[in-house]
Every structure is written in structure tokens, then in C-alpha cells.
Amino acid sequence: GASGILVDVSPKNPIVRVGQNFTFMCRVGKPLMYCSIRLPGSSSGLNMNEKVPKTAKYWYAGDGIGSGQCGITIARIDDSQNGQFKCSLGFEDDPTESDGTTNVTVARAPAIDPTLVVTPDADRRTGAYSEDTLIRATCTVKDARPVASISWAIGDDQITDGISRAETVESLNDLFTVQQNLTRRLTWKDNGKDLKCVASHIALDGRLKQTIKQISVRFAPRPIGGTIEQFGFIVGEEGIISVQIHANPRPSLTWTVDQEIIPEGHKDFTQRFEANPVRSMGNGTWQAELRILRVTVEDVARKYVLKAQNDVGKEQYTVMISTSAEPQGSLELGTGPIIGIVVAILVVLIVIFMLIFARATGRWCFS
């Protein structure tokens, strides 16, 4: 304050919610002659002390002005009380006042969902982007107090790369608009996923506001490294060879068995092999199946070639089948092998100990 008396103010620059009970307090180390508190938007102060009658909206807070405490409690703070709270303190032995201030932010959540703009636009004919397209997305969250926070996600994965610094602009009524840009190079894995611009804010009480744009990416059938091995086929029974393919748009399929090409939805000339129509599993994933009416020993020795093609590209897959059970992995040992390994180690340790003992006592001859 002007008199040099230190005024302890609490709380310091708080963020509060509409309807919250709020107390503003100024303290000094000597008795007060008077206590005046000015609320935001008011041109005059409120004379506050323990003798002032309590109202439904506010009342004096503190142990009395004789204790050097000047405070006010507001029953339910509202949006009009966003701004500076000021206390002015007078003393019997000092002609000048001492002041204390705090800036109260009354939180206001953004009223509408974020706006999300993505450039360039997807292809008008297909509604999809080409793989490797560089997109720029702009998320804007308007009219919040304090400024809202923006986060990004694609599908269930949070995005942390390619994000610009958020830019904030103050608008009317001490409200803030924030904007952030995202730059991302699209891959086939982005196909069918939702690009999300998410706004969080203290006044939303844990709820989120978000805007979503679904991303569609055109890509050729994806390769699968090496020969595909499938197990558990039984001679004399029906068997189904199944291959999962990633592609967008839908691929057309053909199977080749012993040089004979079998389009999807058709059988071979022996009527033993049937290429089922491709099934959509969603988001550019497709199930290709070749049904074998009755598996023979010769079938196990064959190679089955699947070709998938769409208007972006093509890919070929080779499948071999087996009547064996699927391997469990070399590291998964049963209790029998584990016991054998332990016994072998113990035997080796005993032999080494006996050799060392015999040499040390001279019971055996060593050259």
C-alpha cells in the first residue's frame, strides 16, 4: 500500500467457477479503522466489518477489523465478478490507505465445439486422400475463460508430433480464442480413423468437447513378408485357407492352384476348391478365403497363390498348409525339458567339483 504497510492478499489470482462460494481476504499486522472492498465492475467500495449485517449475496469475512483482517465472502460468484478484487485499508495513525488486489478469473467453458478445418480437401470423386499426402489441420476453440487446452488424436492414438504452438487471441468480455495447427503425412494406417481436435477446460468438469473428421486413404494391397504358413488341416475334412489383406478401395481377388486361376465367387474345374467372395472387416481390412472341399495329402504339398488388385496397385501372396499343429515357439518349454536341463547342469557342476578336489588332494594323477 502507499503507506508502506504490507498487505497480505489471498487467494492470489485464483480461477473459480460460476456458483462457487468465494472468499477474498486482506490481512495486515495492525488494527484497522475501516475496510473497503471494491468488486469488479463497481465504481465504489463496500464498507465491510463484523458489524455490517449479513446479506444473502455476501458478508464480512475475518476475525474483525481490530485483528487487521478485511475480507468478503460471496455466496455464489457469477460471471460479472470476473476481474480485479481490491481492498482499501484505513488506520487511525496513518493518513494514507493501504491497498491489496487479486485478479479473479471466473471460468467460462467454450460454448460450442471446436472448429476443425483440414486442407487440402480429399479427392471429390473418391472422398479419399492418396497415401503420403501432407495435410494441415487447424483447430479453433472460441470464447473460453481462461484459455482452453487443445489436444489431437487419430483413432485411439494421441498425436504429439507436427503440432504448432497454440496462438491465443483475447476477445470481448475477457474471453479467449485459441488456435493450433497440425501437419501430418498420411499413411495407409490412418485409413478409416477419426482425426480428433479435443478441447479441455476447467469449467467442463472433466468432460471434453471435440470435433471429428474421418480420414479415408487410398492405398494398394499391403505386402506380407515371406510365405504364409497355416496349420491344423485334417486330411479328408474340409479346410479353409484364410488371408487378411489391407487395401483401399476393395481389392479384386484371384487364387491360383496348380496353374488354374480361380476368381472369387467361383470353383475350380474339379469342384474341390472354391474362392469365397472377399469379406470386409472394416477400415480397409479384407478377408480372403479359399475353401477346400476335402483335404488330400497332395493338397498339403501344394502352393496356393493369392493375387489382390485395386486401382491403386496389386500384391501377391503365397500360402502353404500343414496338417501339423501350430508351433508354440521355441522358448515355451514344458516341465519335463526344464527338469532335464537343471539335472544336466547339476551333473556338470558335480564332475567339475570332483576333478578339482581330486587334483588338490593328489588322489588322481594329472600330467
Under 8 Å between Cβ of 101 and 44:
no
The CATH architecture that domain 228-321 belongs to is: Sandwich (2.60)
> For 8-107, which CATH class?
mainly beta
Tell me, what DSSP letter sits at residue 132? Answer: T
In order along its 367 residues, the chain shows pLDDT tens digits of 445 689 999 999 999 999 999 999 999 999 999 999 999 988 899 999 999 999 999 999 999 999 999 999 999 999 999 999 999 999 999 899 999 999 999 999 999 999 999 999 999 999 999 999 999 999 999 999 999 999 999 999 999 999 999 999 988 778 999 999 999 999 999 999 999 999 999 999 999 999 999 999 999 999 999 999 999 999 999 999 999 999 999 999 999 999 999 999 999 999 999 999 999 999 999 999 999 999 999 999 999 999 999 999 999 999 999 999 888 753 334 444 455 566 677 777 776 777 776 666 665 554 4
Q: What is the DSSP string of 247-302?
A: -BSPPEEEEEETTEEEETT-B-TTSSEEEPPPEEEETTEEEEEEEESS--HHHHH-
Q: Where are the domains of the chain?
A: 8-107, 115-218, 228-321
The superfamily CATH assigns to domain 115-218 is Immunoglobulins (2.60.40.10)
Identical topology for domains 8-107 and 228-321: yes
Look up residue 25 and give its three cell numbers.
481476504
